Structure 1
Amino acid sequence: MQEVANCPKCGGIFVKALRPLCNNCYREQELQYETVSKFMRKKQNRMATIQEVHAKTEVPIDVLHQFIREGRILATSFPNLGYPCESCGNTIKEGRLCGGCKGNITSGLEAIQKENDFNELKKKEENKSRAYSSLNDRLNKK
């Protein structure tokens, strides 16, 4: 059975099949893509920035970012195109986070892991010393 959903763009109800948009919004998005694609195919426009593409094509910046994220517009072919890192907002060409944010997250996770490892080792050592002292106490009482 088909799933009925609200279009995230216009709010209209549609049968969700292959795409997350209603047919009208999908057609509009495809027209926007064609506009951007034609603009970027021209040799003089290959060095354009996101703001320049937006100004010339009137396609919203968030839609341009979506096209790049989806790989429909290859940021590697157009050096001045990219989209913002989800953490800091710096322009990136692939993934969801820039190298700096990935590094911060990785180093934070490594620090937490080291702290957990240290705490486990500390507990093991405390258990060993407790066992030794309780055995020592037993021997001294006799």
Structure 2
Amino acid sequence: MGDRSAASNVTSRLKNIVNEAPFFCKVIELIICVVTVGLIVDPFNSRMQADPNHAAIVYVSLCGYILINAILILCYLIGERQPKRMSMVFSVTGAILCCAAGIVLIHDWSKLYGNMISQYYKQYSDQMAASGVFALLAALVFLIDAIVTNKYVA
């Protein structure tokens, strides 16, 4: 009899964890987007991007989703639930925009070599590459969030 209640307890715990997975994905997305923006600020301020419009794409995509995820996390913490479709739209759009930002950053990084004379060239080059990778990682987490929300959230 105790085995059934223990198994039931484990199953209910797993269901609770899966139901909370979108919240944890939002927290991870927020952290990754903040790190990505933090890494790219100095290279962009030093005009190391190929096109100023690329900086706009990156900042709008990442900073927009920093704001959106911060609001969604706050709403979750005060007890507001968001509809499943809206959550899916935010996650898929976030994946697309973060992927675009990552591709732009990696493209600018690949065009950077031999292009600039700067005291901090190596540091900024590394920051730009790392920022591109983090943006692509954020896109992956947004996709995972969309899949988990679609599959497990009622």
- State the TM-score, normalized to the length of structure 2: 0.26
Higher strand fraction: Structure 1 or Structure 2?
1
Larger radius of gyration, structure 1 or 2? 1
Higher helix fraction: Structure 1 or Structure 2?
2
- State the TM-score, normalized to the length of structure 1: 0.27
